[in-house]
Structure formats: structure tokens, C-alpha cells
Chain A
Amino acid sequence: MHPAMPPTTGAPAGRARRTAVPRRRLLRGLLAVTVAAPLMFGAAACGDDESAADPNAPIKLSIFWWGADARAKLTEDALALYTKKNPNVTFEKTWQANQGYFDKLATLTAGGNPPDLFQIDDNYLSEYAARNTTLDLTPYQESGKLDTSKFPKSLWQYGVVDGKLAGLAAGENTQGLVYNKTLLIKNNLPEPTTGMTWEQHIAWAEEVAKKTGVPGTQDPSADYKAFWVWLRQQGKDLYKGKELGFGAEDVAKWFELWKGARDRKATPTADVIHEGNSSDISKQLVVTGKSATSWVWANQMPDLKKNTKDELGVIAYPGDPSAQWARASMYWSVFKGSKHKDVAVDVINFLNNDTEAVKLLGTDRGLPSNLDLRRVVSDDTTDPAMKQSIAVEAELTEKFGESPQVPIKGHSKVKSELIKAAENAQYGRATPAQAAAQFVEACKAAIA
């Protein structure tokens, strides 16, 4: 912003010299317009007409999601199908990449103009629900307008915030450890398996590093989802009610575990770990060849596969797999102030329970939440990476435990603080215990 002089400052001189009444009036008029105009626009944006009672009246529903071109294509097709079946409903579709999505959603919400229907994830579901932005879907669920009878119970429950169903899972997903199969086979190394202990995993990674020169595993100490699974295996959790579900000594133990792994050269160096901590899938170390393993979500397999020629395998995170759960990869939520709530809920129901729609959408948002339709889709799919991911998820589903509560308000800050603390330890700027203490301190401030 440059400190440009507003041109109006030139005016008073002229006004003083000439008794130019019209000019003064003009100025005053201009001022009134400039002050009033934004107010008027603001008022228009807040206007809240009641929707007409006529069920066949044309309805335009705004919908907003993040994702790539492929997802946009699939979603547009599914929505077109809805319009075909309900000709009075059309959609105003907006989508964009993940980066910046939540900034835009928050800004729209602040302007009193959020979309009727939007995609959201567990990082923000509580934030939005706690502020009464999302519609409580429970009444619709009870009346059967929103059918969750074919959903795994723990999956829809992972959308409940403070007793209200704030969002409905658009797909199921879980933590997945993805490894480079080609590299292992070439070097006659064993593949890791679900159920290995953390210690076994690190020992295996050390072995891989020694034999191939490629560090066996990415150091996930900055990765909240790995930390979370590990915590649950220790009988703790990320959150308990509105509090943290762990203490500084737990974090210190976690950081120690990975310090040990780094010292044994089972993981890459700190700067490479930092690269892999990026949320950008194409920078995951398993596809850039800088590590034999990456800690991701199981449904990211197909995306990872696009970035490498090597064969990939996927298993559960180390330790007891019952610490993992059927996680909603993302949700659909309805804006509480929407003029077309019922229709928006019906669209969610359609996207999750209509056979044709679910077949169209495939596994792009995770495995279909409706178990009957999941079977249909998995029989249909031809993508080998996706087939693998479905198989793993199917195998794990039986071992899954209870869902934890949805992360609370302040979660995004907790995530970034974990990265900061873990990197402090990785770069050797703090001992695990110091970094852990700082982290817990920062978390308490963040969720207060």
C-alpha cells in the first residue's frame, strides 16, 4: 500500500478561493455515496429471503469443494445426474485446489455468504461446528431423509461434534504406510507387514538403509496422524473432551523414539525430512526416492502411484492396528443459514446412497461410506493402485477400533506446533524433552 495522497486534499484550496457551493454539495454527495455504497452491498449480501413453499420452484444450490480436475469432473457428473432426476434443482459449482480452500471458505462465511453445501475435513469440522456454522444433520438422520444405515457406525460417528452430526463422511479412509516395493524386491529385502512393532519397523528401516543406501522410513515425528495412532496404542488419545489427551512425557517418548531412528540412520537427514513434511503429495519421500516409506492416508495411494514408476505397497501403521479407525476422509456439511437446507441434505444423501452417483464418484473421496455400494464399486474398479488400497482397507476394517472424537477447536494450530517442535528436535536445536515441553505448552494455549 503506497501512501498516495488522496486527491481530495487538493480540493479545499479551490473551495476557499471560490465560493463554489455546487462543488461543496458535490463533494458531500460523493462522500455520502462512497460511505453508503459498501453498506448497501453489505446489506444486500445479508438479505435472507424465505424460500418459496412451492416444491417445484427452481432452486439454485451453491456447492464448494477442493480437489483436482479429476474430482471436479466426477462431481460435476454426479451433480448433473441429480439435476436430471430433480429438474428444478441446479448447482452453482465452485472448486479449487486444497491450498487456500479454507481461507476462501472462511472469508465467504465471514461475509455471510457461504455456500449451501461444502466439503470440509476433520481439521476444521469442529471449528465450524463450534461456531454454529454447520447444520445439525441429526434430525434428518432420525427421520431417514439422510440414510446412514449402511454406513459403518464409527464412520458417521466421526462427524459428531458436541452431540450434533455436523458433517457426513463423503468417504472412508485410514492411515496407511506406503512403501517402495520395487526397491525391496530388487535388494532381496522383506516387505513390512501390518502388526510389526515400532521397534521392528525401525530395525527394518535401518536394514533397508544399510543395504540400499536409501533411508528405510520417513521420520514421522512431525506427523500428527502417526503421533495420534502411536498415542492410542499407549492408551492415550490426541484429545479428551476439550483437553489434550496426552502429556509432555508422552511427546518426549515419541520424539526419543525417532531420535533413536535418526541416530541409527534409519531415516533421512533433517532437511530431507522437512521436505517430506510438506502436504504436497508429489514431494512425499517414497515417490521422490529419498526414503523407502512414507506415512500417508491409504486413499492417497493412487495419487502417489502417479508420481513414481516404482511399484508401491501399503499396510497399516506399526503397532496394533486397532488404534486406527474408519476415518472420514472428508465430509459434506450444510450451511446452517442456507435457504435450501432440505434440498442440500437430499443432495448429500444422493451423493452417498444413490448407486449410480456412487459408481460415478468411485473412490475419489475415499472408499464409499455405504458398505453395500462400496462392494459394487470395488468389483468395478480397474485401477490396480485403487484395488490395492481397497483391499488393504477391507482387511483393516475388521481390525479397526472405536473412532476418537473429532479434533477440537485449535487443532490446526496443534498440528503446526507439532511440526515446529519435532523439527526443533530433528535439527538438533532442542532435546526431545525440551521440544516436547514447548509443544505441550503451545498446545494448551492453542486450545484454550
Chain B
Amino acid sequence: MALTTAPDPTRRGPGTDRAHAEKRGPGRIRHSEGLAGYVFLSPWLIGLMGITAVPMLLSLYLSFTNYDILTPFSEAQWVGLANYERMFTADPSYWHSVRVTLTFALIAVPLKLAAALGVALLLNRAWRGVGLFRGLFYLPSLLGGSVALAIVWVNMFNRDGAFNSLLSLFGIEGKPWVNDPDWALQTLMVLAIWQFGAPMVIFLAGLKQVPTELYEAASVDGAGRFSQFRNITLPMLSPVIFFNLVLETINGFQGFTAAFVLSNGTGGPVDSTLMYTLNLYITGFTDLEMGYASAMAWVFLLAIAVITAIFFSTGRFWVHYSDGEDR
């Protein structure tokens, strides 16, 4: 059954091109259709303005003020760049949270992508029951940033949790993983890596697009498995890898829920799980320094923008699009 459903990528090519061509001429859409379009969009537009754009601008303003959430907005006191200055020069816990977040993203994101790609390669074969496995591997990421999952994680990695019971079967003495400042962050990383389902599905879709003739031709030329992977799969997959990398990096930087739940909202033990966003939350809502928290949020936004821009500028050296004439 799986054999018959395997798509033929060569047939798909021209079809996609036609779709592109049609999309490129929006001027041809009839006027009344355009109007209907805007009407249908308006709830979204209003939402964008009201829930995203306006609050964002307000927070930009607040980042230059000494504002705590309890006083009226109009009493926010203009302090110029003082919040930014404090962040960069006088707040050790700020830099600590930057370090924690970078460590987390630098380790967890590549491992998560590697796991996603590895499993996608395994599940790209046509064997019995593969659909079931695809579903099972995807399941954890459906649970996403759920609180329930984080609670399960805490209980699994306690000193007397399931993980240590498992270790003790092999005569290994466990650790209080989530309550040990040397290990709490690593436990969070494992949780993040385990949720590799979403990038895996995207990798699977990408793998299906690689033309099978390429492999046939390569094997005729005597290329081995590894060589095929290196010279065909990876280059053909590079746009998908790029996409996943950008998305997962942004996700990684924004990790909040698990750290919040695991540490009871404190970032403990001893600040070992004080992720940037958690620090931001504590600053704004517990310490009531909303102006300072806004400044932190804007630096965060800029940092992510810069990192994404770096990805895009280096992307042209390693991301290959098969339909080159299209770009």
C-alpha cells in the first residue's frame, strides 16, 4: 500500500510552477473578490492592530520609562536609556539568563534537529506499520509546551522518579535531576529534544520531494549509502533544514513553560533554569518592573531578528533550491 501512495516528484514539478505563475499576478483578481478578501481579513487585521501592533508600540514606549504595572499608564516616568544601561552594565542576573538561554538553544536545537532528521530518515522507508510510528513520534510535540507534560517531566526526573528507578535496575545510582542545579537545565533540554515531532514531519515531507532518479543514477555510478546521503539528501533537503533551523532556534529561545513549571516560576534551583523569558516574566510581574521588562523584551526581539538575519545571510552558501530559476 505504501508503495502505491509514494508520490512521483517529477510529476509534481510543473504543477507547482503553474501555481506560482498564477499567484504572481494578483492584479488579475477581480475587484469584488478583493473587497471580499479584505472583509474576511478584517477580524484578523483588527486583531493584529489591537492585540499585537498597538501593545508592541506601547511596550516600546514603556521600555524608556520607569513603569510598574500598578500605576496608571500616564504616570510612567521617562528615563531615557536607563533601562537599557542597567541591563547591559548593572544586572548580573540579566546576563546570567542570557547565558542560560544561549546554552539551552545551542545544545538543544541542533540535537533536536538531528533527532528529527534521523528519525525522519528511518520513517521515510516503506515498511509495515510505519504510519503508526510516525504518529507516535509526532505525539510528544502535539503536547507542545503543555504544563501537564512539564509536571510529568518533573515527577519522572525527581530523585525518586521513574528515570532513577530505571537506572537502579542497572545498578546505577541516579541524581535528583530536576533539583540539582548542575542538571536541571539538561533535563529541560532532554524534554525539548524529545519533542522533535514537528520538525520531523517537515523533514519527512522534504524527503518525499527528493527525486528518486537521483538516487538511482547515483547508485548506478556506484555511490554508497553515506555518499548518497551527503551528496543528494542533504543538499536537496537544505531548504527544509534551513526552515526548521530558523523556526526551532526561535522556539528554543522562547522556551518558557517547562522552565516555569519545573522551577515553580523561580528559575531555580539557584537560577539554573532562569531562561530569558522567565526572567522577563519575573521582572515584569513579580518584581513589578514593567518598564525594565519591556526593555528586556525589545532587546530579545532584536536579538532574535539579528540571529535570523545571520541565518538568512549565511543560508545562500549552503541552501540549494532545485528549481533554481524560480528564485
Contact = CB atoms under 8 A, between A and B. Distances in A.
Interface residues of B, number: 43
Contacts of A26: 35, 38
Contacts of A249: none
A43 interface: no
Chain A contact residues (Cβ within 8 angstroms of B): what range?
Answer: 35 or more
A10 B269 contact: no
A423 B265 contact: no
A37 interface: yes
Interface in A23-42: 23, 26-27, 30, 33-35, 37-38, 41
Nearest to A416: B266
A285 B179 CA distance: 14
Interface in A93-135: 99, 102-103, 106-107, 109-110, 112, 127-128, 131-133
A7 interface: yes
Contacts of A103: 285-286
A424 interface: yes
A18 B41 contact: no
Interface in B30-50: 31, 34-35, 37-38, 41-42, 44-46, 48-50
A106 B288 contact: yes
B45 A8 contact: yes
Interface of B is mostly: helix
A316 B50 CA distance: 53
A59 to B, nearest CB: 24
Contacts of B282: 416
B270 A37 contact: no
A109 B287 contact: no
Contact of A271 (B38, B72, B176, B288): B176
A149 interface: no
Nearest to A131: B70
Contact of B264 (A1, A22, A132, A280): A280
Interface string B267-307: 01111000000000010011110100000000000000000
B29 interface: yes
A13 B27 contact: yes
A419 interface: yes
B45 A271 contact: no
Given A23-B34, A420-B268, A14 B70 contact: no
Interface of A: 1, 3, 6-8, 10, 13-14, 17-18, 20, 22-23, 26-27, 30, 33-35, 37-38, 41, 99, 102-103, 106-107, 109-110, 112, 127-128, 131-133, 270-272, 274-275, 277-280, 410, 412-413, 416, 419-420, 423-424, 427, 429, 446
Interface of B: 26-27, 29, 31, 34-35, 37-38, 41-42, 44-46, 48-50, 52, 54, 68-73, 159, 176, 179-181, 264-266, 268-271, 282, 285-288, 290, 308
Closest 6 CB pairs of A and B: A34-B49, A271-B176, A271-B179, A17-B27, A38-B50, A110-B69
